[in-house]
């Protein structure tokens, strides 16, 4: 490319044309780099998303039937809102959210604070604390299924030992009073690792100068925690709380495997209700209506998060 950079007009024009051509080539390349993602997102996210609103207003069955597909407006939604089981499911996931927020976020925050100290084997410990998060929920169910054994599982033995036999063995997964709480325990154990990582990132984001300044002003460890760490983590707290709440409303796998919504519908969840309606009762339209409701719930939570974050940013 050692060509003479000439000032002859014709040559300059040729160069401009070449640049135009290469610009078009570049646009073409960019478009083809974007295309796979755009096509896949459209086909497998946008189209089914729009379809879910349409299907929710029809009597679409799972397998095609001779009866014609009818557009029935909001009948599915009305039926859902008239179904006690749906409200039970909604109440159950709310209960689940209410319990798992302190347990899971507390565990995540505590372990992140511990790991943020200068301690030996920090990387090893961080790996250990993250292990449950990479464990599949199915495997978690296998492990905790044995831990929850009634009446002689480890948890019951420990409780009996600690209370000197005073606490009677608990049927963790079989007692309607306890089943959802048991699901909370194993879910928190499985999922806190991600929130811990997010908290660790948040802690690393607080500048050391703030702590030094607080120290010079004579703040003790608790004051530094309360007036430097906590305000610095405010967006992190919002993020973690919102993610955990959304996760709670999508609760499905552990319930489907361990309790199938029972006993006495005490662990029925919105997603479990949706899957049952769609695949056991084969009412796809009805199930789609449930999925639209689920989306609206998640959307509301996400919008609340945005508002909160905006307020903190100011």
Partner 1 sequence: MSDIALSISRPNEKPVRSAAGALHTIQTVCILIVALVIVSPLFLLVVASLKDDRFQILADMGSFRAFWVSNPTLNNFKEVGHFSGELAFGRYLFNSLLILSITVCSGVIVNSMAGFVLAWGSVKGRATILSIVIALYVIPQESIIMPLVIMVSRAGMTDTFAVQIVPWIASPLYIFLFYQFFAQLPKELLEAAQMDGASIFRIYRSIFMPLSLPAVATVSILTGIETWNQYLWPILVTQTDYARPIAVAIATFFGQDSIYWDRAMAASVLMMIPILGLYLAFQRWFVSSFVGSAVKG
Shortest spacing between CB 229 and partner 1, in angstroms:
15
Q: Which residues, 108 to 127, sit near partner 1 by CB under 8 A?
A: 111, 114-115, 117, 119-120, 125-127
Based on the shown chain and the rule CB under 8 A, indicate whether residue 48 belongs to the binding site for partner 1: yes
3-state DSSP call for residue 61? strand
Q: How far is the CB of 297 from partner 1 (least distance, A)?
A: 9
Residues 139 and 131: beta-carbon distance below 8 Å = no
Neighbours of 238 (CB within 10 A): 18
Round to whole Å and give the CA distance between 76 and 59. Answer: 8
Task: Collapse the DSSP code of 116 into the 3-class scheme (helix H, G, I; strand E, B; otherwise coil) and give the result.
Answer: helix
Q: How far apart are CA 22 and CA 243, in angstroms?
A: 45
Neighbours of 232 (CB within 10 A): 16
CA distance 259 to 236: 33
Nearer to partner 1, 74 or 295 (CB): 295
Q: Which is nearer to partner 1, 9 or 74 (CB)?
A: 74
Question: Could you give the CA distance from residue 235 to residue 205 in angstroms, rounded to a whole number?
Answer: 11
Asked if residue 162 binds partner 1 (CB under 8 A), the reply is no
- Give the footprint of partner 1 on residues 243-262 (CB under 8 A): 246, 250, 252-253, 256-258
Q: By CB under 8 A, how many residues form the interface with partner 1? A: 93
Q: For residue 267, what is the DSSP state?
A: T
Range in contact with partner 1 (rule: CB under 8 A) among 10-18, 80-88, 142-150, 209-217: 142-150
Considering beta carbons, is residue 126 or 227 the nearer one to partner 1? 126
* Residue selected from 66, 84, 152, 209 as contacting partner 1 according to rule CB under 8 A: 152
- Site membership for partner 1, residue 92 (CB under 8 A): no
Contacting partner 1 (CB under 8 A), which of 18, 134, 213, 230?
134
**Least Cβ distance, residue 97 to partner 1 (angstroms):** 15
Q: State the minimum distance, in angstroms, from the CB of residue 110 to partner 1.
A: 8
Residues 167-186 that bind partner 1 (CB under 8 A): none
* Three-state DSSP class for residue 283: strand
Beta bridge partners of 283: 61
Q: How far apart are CA 116 and CA 129, in angstroms?
A: 13
| Candidates 3-11, 72-80, 89-97, 297-305; binding stretch for partner 1 (CB under 8 A) | 297-305
Indicate the residue among 9 and 159 with the shorter CB distance to partner 1.
159
- Using an 8 Å Cβ cutoff, are 93 and 270 in contact? yes
Residue 177 Cβ, how far from partner 1 at the closest point, in Å? 22
20 binds partner 1 (CB under 8 A): no
């Amino acid at each position: 490319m050692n060509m003479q950079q000439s000032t002859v007009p014709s040559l300059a024009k040729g160069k401009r044309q070449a640049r135009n051509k290469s610009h078009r080539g570049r646009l073409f390349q960019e478009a083809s780099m974007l295309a796979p993602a755009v096509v896949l997102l459209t086909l497998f996210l946008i189209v089914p998303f729009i379809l879910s609103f349409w299907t929710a207003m029809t009597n679409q069955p799972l397998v095609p039937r001779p009866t014609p597909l009818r557009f029935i407006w909001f009948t599915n939604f009305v039926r859902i809102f008239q179904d006690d089981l749906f409200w039970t499911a909604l109440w159950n996931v709310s209960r689940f959210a209410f319990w798992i927020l302190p347990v899971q976020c507390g565990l995540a925050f505590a372990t992140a604070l511990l790991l943020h100290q200068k301690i030996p084997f920090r990387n090893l410990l961080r790996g250990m604390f993250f292990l449950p998060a990479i464990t599949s929920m199915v495997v978690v169910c296998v492990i905790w299924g044995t831990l929850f054994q009634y009446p002689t599982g480890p948890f019951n033995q420990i409780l009996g030992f600690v209370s000197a036999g005073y606490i009677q063995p608990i049927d963790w997964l079989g007692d309607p009073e306890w089943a959802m709480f048991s699901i909370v325990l194993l879910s928190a154990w499985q999922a806190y690792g991600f929130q811990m990582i997010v908290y660790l990132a948040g802690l690393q984001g607080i500048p050391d100068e703030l702590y030094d300044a607080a120290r010079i002003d004579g703040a003790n460890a608790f004051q530094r925690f309360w007036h430097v760490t906590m305000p610095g983590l405010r967006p992190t707290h919002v993020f973690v709380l919102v993610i955990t709440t959304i996760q709670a409303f999508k609760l499905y796998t552990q319930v489907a495997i361990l309790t199938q919504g029972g006993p006495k519908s005490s662990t029925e969840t919105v997603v479990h209700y949706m899957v049952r309606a769609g695949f056991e009762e084969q009412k796809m339209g009805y199930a789609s209506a449930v999925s639209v409701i689920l989306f609206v719930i998640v959307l509301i939570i996400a919008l609340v998060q945005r508002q909160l974050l905006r307020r903190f940013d100011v």
